[in-house]
Amino acid sequence: MLPKKSEDKQNRLFQNRLENIIDTGHNLARLSGQIDWRFLENKFGEVYIPDKGRPGLPTRLMAGLHYLKGMFALRVTAAYAQRTVSSAAF
Protein backbone atom coordinates (compact mmCIF):
# COMPACT_ATOMS: atom_id res chain seq x y z
CA MET A 1 0.00 0.00 0.00
CA LEU A 2 1.28 3.46 -0.81
CA PRO A 3 2.41 5.71 2.03
CA LYS A 4 -0.16 8.25 3.15
CA LYS A 5 0.44 11.80 1.99
CA SER A 6 1.45 14.16 4.77
CA GLU A 7 -1.15 16.56 6.04
CA ASP A 8 -1.27 20.23 5.25
CA LYS A 9 1.53 22.12 7.01
CA GLN A 10 -0.98 24.70 8.22
CA ASN A 11 -2.52 22.06 10.51
CA ARG A 12 0.81 21.65 12.31
CA LEU A 13 1.00 25.21 13.56
CA PHE A 14 2.50 24.43 16.98
CA GLN A 15 4.98 21.76 15.94
CA ASN A 16 8.64 22.64 15.48
CA ARG A 17 9.92 22.31 11.95
CA LEU A 18 12.88 20.01 11.50
CA GLU A 19 14.88 22.81 9.89
CA ASN A 20 14.67 24.70 13.21
CA ILE A 21 15.96 21.74 15.22
CA ILE A 22 18.85 20.29 13.22
CA ASP A 23 22.06 21.87 11.97
CA THR A 24 21.23 22.58 8.32
CA GLY A 25 24.94 23.03 7.60
CA HIS A 26 25.68 19.39 8.50
CA ASN A 27 26.86 17.30 5.55
CA LEU A 28 23.93 14.87 5.78
CA ALA A 29 21.40 17.71 5.95
CA ARG A 30 22.97 19.32 2.88
CA LEU A 31 23.03 15.97 1.08
CA SER A 32 19.30 15.50 1.68
CA GLY A 33 18.72 18.67 -0.32
CA GLN A 34 20.62 17.20 -3.28
CA ILE A 35 18.60 13.97 -3.54
CA ASP A 36 15.68 13.90 -5.96
CA TRP A 37 13.06 12.51 -3.54
CA ARG A 38 10.19 12.74 -6.05
CA PHE A 39 12.08 10.49 -8.45
CA LEU A 40 12.55 7.91 -5.69
CA GLU A 41 8.88 8.18 -4.67
CA ASN A 42 7.80 7.60 -8.27
CA LYS A 43 10.14 4.63 -8.80
CA PHE A 44 9.33 2.93 -5.50
CA GLY A 45 5.64 3.77 -5.93
CA GLU A 46 5.56 1.58 -9.03
CA VAL A 47 6.04 -1.57 -6.94
CA TYR A 48 3.37 -0.82 -4.32
CA ILE A 49 0.07 -2.66 -4.57
CA PRO A 50 -2.83 -0.31 -3.80
CA ASP A 51 -5.17 -1.19 -0.93
CA LYS A 52 -3.21 -4.25 0.09
CA GLY A 53 -1.47 -4.60 3.44
CA ARG A 54 -0.71 -1.89 5.92
CA PRO A 55 0.06 1.64 4.73
CA GLY A 56 3.67 2.05 3.71
CA LEU A 57 6.13 4.30 5.47
CA PRO A 58 7.21 7.49 3.70
CA THR A 59 9.64 6.79 0.87
CA ARG A 60 12.01 9.51 2.07
CA LEU A 61 12.25 7.86 5.49
CA MET A 62 12.92 4.38 4.14
CA ALA A 63 15.37 5.47 1.43
CA GLY A 64 17.19 7.73 3.89
CA LEU A 65 17.51 4.96 6.48
CA HIS A 66 18.85 2.53 3.89
CA TYR A 67 21.35 5.14 2.72
CA LEU A 68 22.57 5.72 6.27
CA LYS A 69 22.71 1.99 6.89
CA GLY A 70 25.00 1.51 3.90
CA MET A 71 27.06 4.63 4.53
CA PHE A 72 27.90 3.76 8.12
CA ALA A 73 27.87 -0.05 7.68
CA LEU A 74 25.09 -0.38 10.24
CA ARG A 75 23.31 -3.66 10.81
CA VAL A 76 21.27 -5.39 13.43
CA THR A 77 22.80 -8.67 14.45
CA ALA A 78 20.71 -11.66 15.43
CA ALA A 79 22.10 -11.52 18.97
CA TYR A 80 21.10 -7.88 19.41
CA ALA A 81 17.65 -8.54 17.98
CA GLN A 82 17.17 -11.52 20.29
CA ARG A 83 18.30 -9.51 23.32
CA THR A 84 15.91 -6.69 22.42
CA VAL A 85 12.97 -9.06 22.05
CA SER A 86 13.88 -10.79 25.33
CA SER A 87 14.14 -7.54 27.28
CA ALA A 88 10.89 -6.25 25.80
CA ALA A 89 9.07 -9.28 27.25
CA PHE A 90 9.92 -8.15 30.78
pLDDT tens-digit map of 15-59:
777 778 888 888 888 988 899 999 998 998 888 777 788 877 888
The band of 88, judged by pLDDT with boundaries at 50, 70 and 90, is very low
Q: Residue 4: its pLDDT value, please?
A: 66
Residue 25 domain flag: yes
**Domain membership of residue 27 as a residue range:** 9-89
Number of structural domains (the chain) is 1
Residue 1 domain flag: no
What's the angle, vertex CA 21, arms to CA 16 and CA 27, rounded to 5? Answer: 140
- Helix/strand/coil (H, E, C) string of 8-73? CHHHHCCCCCHHHHCCCCCHHHHHHCCCCHHHHHHHHHCCCCCCCCCCCCCHHHHHHHHHHHHHCC
